[in-house]
Amino acid sequence: MISYAKSASVRVCTALAVIGSLAVLSPAPPARAGTSPEPGDVVVSEDFGSGSLPVGWRAVDGDWQVKDGRLIGAAASGTKKLTFGPHLTDYRFEATARFDSVAEATRWFALGLDVPASGATPWWIATLRSGSTAANGVEFAQLTTAGSWNVTDTTPAPYAAATGRDVKVRIEVHGHQAAWFLDGRQLMRTNRLQRSADGGLALVVNGSQVSFDDVRVTALGPNGYLRPEGAPAAVIAHRGASSSAPENTLFAQEVGRRSGADFIENDVQLSKDSVPYLMHDTTVDRTTDGTGDIRTLTAAQLDGLDAGSWFSPHFAGARVPTLRAQLADLRQRGGNLLLEVKRADTEDEVAAMIDVVRAENMTGRVFVQSFEPQHLRWVHELAPELPLGLLRSTLDADPVAVAADLHLTSYNPSGAALGTRPGVVADLHEAGVAVMVWTIDSAAQWRTYDEYGVDGIITNRPAELAGWNQARSQAAPAPEPAPEPQAAVTSPAKGAVLDRAQRPVLAVTTEHADPAKVELTLDGERYEAGSTLDLTALKAGEHTLRLTATGPGGTTVTTSTFTVRASRAGLGHLILASAGRQQTVGDLLDCLVRGRYDRLEKLAEKAGERGELPTATAGLIAADARELRAPAA
């Protein structure tokens, strides 16, 4: 703020502003003591206003201290950490951080996502380097019990964190999944976190001094499929990366995984001997070198089919995978499965599929969908912990009611269906239900459904969609609109009534304005803020101050009025300051003392005509005398 003159009103306004800002920054109420936090509960809220480490925060190693309302962590070399907070499965971890100094641009700080209070390994962190535009500027990583780093995911940031600037970091965790946000924009997701039973939170610094502020941890609901603010829609590889490899094969799954897909979507059916296999069509004719309905073929027969040559000679010999083989691959090499149940006529047939999911310990990484509501009812009875999605070619009259009836985590319409009523996305979100749309393969369509706010896009082109999302996350952030200038005249106060004996200082305050483009006028004449206003040169009556302030956000014009009042003291001051002839000044003062305003008025007018008083001053004296005489008339 630019202040051209100090005044009591300015100081009062400043004090009120400080009080207001303190109210805004006051810590939010914590989660209820003695209970498990509910979604939305603020579990940790710390602005370090106490001047010391909060109770329960443990400096495991390194130099940690609270100074000037911030937590300072210093590690001249190596990695130093401070632990705090409870173990949470679903949570949002936010902080404002600033690199104060670094040994080199590769040094970093991190938010610890699953760290024992003792700091013992293994533990997981979300890392930001000072040189964050490097290929590994942003990371998810684990420090193993062997003391080696297992870096699972990396990406560059669109700009360098550097030193001396605050950045806002945010990690949203749902079990083994996490999303990395910088200044409100998602940069990266992972599904590779390995969670412990009791690991808490931490702040970590490496080869740097970092200051932290406004650390906040919020419990989240278990539906991690709802798209957080600042995140793109999840990438779901339809039948694997089916535009680049034979669908529903482990080749397609691998391409989808390497493309950056958040989910692999595949179809499951049972063989004649009740073994779950990945197959979309009723028959094997289109995607293998065999023929016949999959239900008429045994596992041994399916295992002998070539499921790749039809797509390209490069994939000759690819097999129709069992669901067990697919899940084992995902468990060992990473990835989540959106599994579509097809052609299950009984609960026992659905149970044969769910039993495999459980046997492979993958219930935390499998999402089940189907066009058939009965399939979903059976899955819910058999495995209520599995998230459910209902596929739809046309929208139900009330998708929210259908979602509640079927215990849906997600409602999954076709793109064409959603286009008829895109407003259902907001309705479902309000009910806590995600929306995954299918099957969308062009950038123009991706943009459309992204703007609808869908949580996931099922596509045959996962690499292209992941790249499209990444390009948008790496784009330079749109500049925030410059704030509109604020301007006020603080002296004379608006509506003030002054007499000529007073000498007010012209004072203004401006904010978001260019000092060279601030203009103050009085009755149309330019004046400088900070100058003393000579009321002996102004007529009695109302006067207008006009303040114009221009800045990057535009121009603001404000006006303020004050009144010059005729008074005996003010008129005496005007006469004494008139620079008139000594005899004339004496005669005028004698009339004033005697209250002879009529005589004083005439005497002033004649003195002005004879040159015994400056003409303008003579007119002001005569006018004031006339005004003071008026009440007695």
- Which residues form the catalytic set? 238, 280
* The two three-digit tokens of residue 31, written as one number: 């989660």
Instruction: State how far the Cα of 193 lies from the Cα of 178, in Å rounded to an integer.
Output: 8
| 387 beta partners | none
DSSP calls for 478-505: PPPPPPPPEEEEEESPTT-EE-TT--PB
CB 600 within 8 A of CB 621: yes
Instruction: Report yes or no: 415 and 429 within 8 Å, Cβ to Cβ.
Output: no
DSSP code, position 27: P
Of 73, 70, 33, which Cα lies nearest the Cα of 50?
Answer: 70
DSSP percent split of the chain into helix, strand, coil, nearest 5: 30, 30, 40
Report the alpha-carbon distance of residue 551 to residue 41 in Å, rounded: 41
Contact 94, 219 (CB under 8 A): no
Cα(368)–Cα(249) distance, integer angstroms:
18
- Is 563 in a helix, a strand, or coil? strand
C-alpha distances in Å from residue 276, one per residue of 145, 268, 284, 342? 37, 6, 14, 10
| Residue 544 phi, psi dihedral angles, 5° rounding | -120, 125
Query: Which residues is 218 bridged to in the sheet?
Result: 42, 92
Beta strands in 271-405 (DSSP E): 276-278, 337-341, 366-370, 388-392
Alpha carbon distance 142, 148 (integer Å): 8
Q: Which residues of 224-261 are buried (b: 16+ CB within 10 A; e: fewer)?
A: bbbbeebbbbbbbbbbbbbbbbbbbbbbbbbbbbebbb
Question: Is 137:155 a contact under the CB 8 Å cutoff?
Answer: yes
